[in-house]
Structure formats: C-alpha cells, structure tokens
Structure 1
C-alpha cells in the first residue's frame, strides 16, 4: 500500500515555465488588493472597477471617470493643451512631467470641461492621481479656476472629483498659492448662487483636502477613500496618541460630520443626478 502511494502519478500543480508566463497577456487579470480575489480585467471594467466581492473601489483614470459620470457624447474639454512650466528650475521636473504625459496620455493632473448628467448641464473637473500623484501645481489651479469662472458665466453647477497627494513640491509657493486662488473662485461661485458638489476619491490629501476639495455645498466620497491633511504617523507623533484604525477614511469622516454622504461608484451618477434635480429652480423642474 505504501508502495502504491509512491507509484501513483502525482497531481501536484507545476510551476509555469517562463514561456508559459509570457503567453498570458499582460493586464488580462487583476487582483483585488483588499480581498485578494483575482478577476478578469475586462469583467471588472464592466462593473465600474468595483470589486464584486468586497466592494473595493479601484482607481480609475480621469477620462474613465468622465465616461462613467456624464451622459454619453456630451463632454467638451477645456484647456486640454495647458502644460506646466518650471518656475523654480527644480531638478528633473520637466523630464518627469514629460514621462507622466507619455504614461497617462494627459497633459496635467486634471481634466476639465462641460457636459450633462441625466440631462442637466454641468461643468466638471476630474483629477487623476497617475500624473504626479495628482499633485496641485499652477496648471491644476488655473484649470480649476477657469472651469469655475465658466460655470459662473454659463450659470451651471460645478462638480469636482478630487484625487491628490497635495501640493506639488516642485513648484513650491506657486503650488500653495493655488489653495487661495481656487478657494476665492469658489467663493465667487457661491455668491453667484450656483451649486458646487465636491466628490472626494482615493486619495485626497494635503493642500487639496485643505482647500477646494472640502468647500462643496455638498461633500461626498467614495467608500474607503483616504481623506486627510497630514499623514497618520505625523499626527500620532504630534498628539502622542494612537489613532483609530479607520482614521482618515471616508466612513470615519462621515461619522464625524465632515462628509454628507458616502456613495458607491455604481450609484454615483444617479446620486449626482438627484442632487442636480433637487437644486434646479422650480420653473425648470416644472418645465
């Protein structure tokens, strides 16, 4: 009997050869970083890049976000050719920016424009964390300010999807000035009486979270998004206390009154459409 155990053909899995590995197309499968489920990337895209098992929200590009949010065929981009300069002559900044443009097919860390959601005209800005970690430089601030000015002129709501690591260090004080610039533009939008919806996605940190991203008439976020100003370790060292495990998550901020709602990506478009409908003048709703 023992002899039979050794004589039977073993059914153990074999390690794929390098040739077999090369035959699997790159990007065919995607592994969820939260629950470790492996999915076909094509199928994952069909469900808006949200894990079916644990509801983890994968990052999406600016144009993917626009496709998921706006009515088909309505988007018109603003200032797509704007490219950052190098005001401080920061070493390798222009070279790294060029690499990001080639990698992401974007000229900057934000895409702005106008379109429609559920038939309602809007001006929209969508940040993309793949470009310099979505950092806020002069071009990002200028594009946001111009989009807000357009919303004021055209009397349209403004919606911003934030995703950023904060201020862009390669531009120093020029980057920090964008906090005041965009905040002032949003104040003008508020005085004009037009709606601003801020959608915070993963991650929204630093100077972006401390300025325009937190100034919405309605502030919402995607589930599990990291949202905060300083890093967790710095805060713990400063206050000499251990922070909760869910600190700086969208759910934590909602519980403590810093968000109005946490909205799944699969429900985002319908939720935005509802907000837009509720904020329409009575005569427009009745018409």
Structure 2
C-alpha cells in the first residue's frame, strides 16, 4: 500500500498544470484580493469572508450578512414578491434583471425584514451588489421606504447595510426619485423618535451615498469600503488636481468627520447589540 501511495503521488505530480487546475473542483479555493494568499472558500466563509492574514473584507451577499447578524430562525422577510418592471421600455433591461434573478436567487438588490440581534428586535435592510451592482431602482427604493415605515409603525429601530453603484440608469428619473422618497421616510421615522443605524460597505456610491446611506443617527462603514458620489477620475478631471491615495475610503471619511466609526466585521454584531440596548425603551443598557 505504501508503494501505491508513492506511485499515485508521482502520477499526480506529472500532470500538466492546466490538467491539475481542471482536477480542482470549481469554487473550492479563493484568492484574497488584499494579500493574494489562497484559502479554502469554506474556511473564508467561517471567518465571515475576512482574510485571516491581512484582514481584507471580501464581499458578503445579502443572506450571508443576515446569517452573520441575526439570531437563528428569527429573521422575517418583508415584500419579497416586489419585482422590477421596465417603466421606460429600456432595451434588454428585463432580460438583464431576469438573468440577475437566476444568478443570485433574489428578486431585487435589497432584502428587507425584521428579526432579533442577540435578543433585540430591529427592522433591517441589506443591499446586495451582486444584483445589478446594487443599483437603486424604483423597487429597491420602495422596499427600503416600506421597511422604514414598518419600523416606525412597530416602534423598533432600523438598520441598513448599503452596497451600491448608485442610481439605476435604466429607470431614469424614477430611480433618482428614490433618493427623496427614502429620505422623507427617514425624516418621518426620526420625528417619531426612531433610531437608524447605517453601515456602508464596499462600494457605496452615487445616489445611495447621497441619500439614505448618510442619514443614520450613527453612520458606520467596514474597513476599506469605497464611499463617494462621483468617481475619482471624474473629480480629478474636474478640479484638475491629484487626489490622495486613500480618497473615498472609509478611513478617509472617518478622518474628515463624515463617519462615526470604521467597524471590523467581527465586531459588528456586538456593536449593534450595544447600541440597540442603549436606545431600548426603558433604558436597558446591557
């Protein structure tokens, strides 16, 4: 048997590199975008998609985010059946949306609902950049506005995780209208004494960064997240100046007073738990 082991070892060692690559099951391994080390995808998932070597925060999809934060079995989704139409008859738009539905298993770029984080109830919205790059269309804006209204009616806090390339151009002004609609919903919620926590993840840009993403009572971000309105190259061409290397990163915004804190993903659940407890009616600070 020992002889067979060494024969097999020599056999696989002689396989050309292209063949060896084909023998590795697809999706088994992944390379860190920060330090370029190779990891088993399952191990990275156990670490909430944070590189154990360099702390680079890789993308989480919406359901992975919910799983990492909510007490098991407590999350209840809202408005899952809302589906984007094609109000401007934009060519091939419906086909592209349908392709993203099949690829992601989502009907839109945002999931909304409510549940418990360490025993404390909260309303919740999370954007998923794998669906149309998290672009904000009329359905995304409607779902977020409804979630805020539900939080107001149920007198519970509202937490949103943003990830977006901005407004969805295929819906034109209908997409831009969501900036004001969501902002008005937040104002009404605030007037009723509601607590809103906004956490910006990579990337949060365009109309999303210029509206609901920046209107929290607390505004946080994950390390290294790209946050801004216009693109870096456009700004440099407009002002004819070279921008700092860390421009539009979470750390740059924190340094200039536009964020309250940059929060490591491993610390996120405990921070949310603490803040929900501080603001809980009855003054429970546990």
How high is the TM-score relative to the length of structure 2?
0.93
Q: Which residue of 1 aligns with 2:73?
A: 73
CA contact (8 A) 2:183 2:212 kept: yes
Q: Which residue of 2 aligns with 1:162?
A: 162
Q: 2: CA distance between counterparts of 1:16 and 1:65?
A: 39
Q: 1: CA distance between counterparts of 2:285 and 2:251?
A: 36
Structure 1 unpaired stretches of 5+: 1-12
SS in 2 for 1:133: helix
Shift in Å, 1:198: 0.3
Q: Which residue of 1 aligns with 2:8?
A: none
Matched, 1:252 2:248: no
Aligned-residue CA RMSD (Å): 1.3
Q: 2: CA distance between counterparts of 1:286 and 1:35?
A: 39
SS in 1 for 2:284: helix
Matched, 1:264 2:270: no
Shift in Å, 1:14: 6.3
Matched, 1:92 2:92: yes
Q: Which residue of 2 aligns with 1:130?
A: 130
Shift in Å, 1:19: 3.7
Q: Which residue of 2 aligns with 1:285?
A: 284
Q: 1: CA distance between counterparts of 2:14 and 2:285?
A: 67
Q: 1: CA distance between counterparts of 2:32 and 2:185?
A: 39
Moved >4 Å (runs of 4+) = none
Shift in Å, 1:277: 1.0
Q: 1:260 to 1:41 in 2, by over 3 A?
A: same
Within 5 A, what are the aligned runs for 1:116-265?
A: 116-265=116-265
Matched, 1:48 2:48: yes
Q: 2: CA distance between counterparts of 1:182 and 1:38?
A: 41
SS in 2 for 1:87: coil
SS in 1 for 2:207: helix
Matched, 1:34 2:37: no
Q: 1: CA distance between counterparts of 2:146 and 2:44?
A: 35
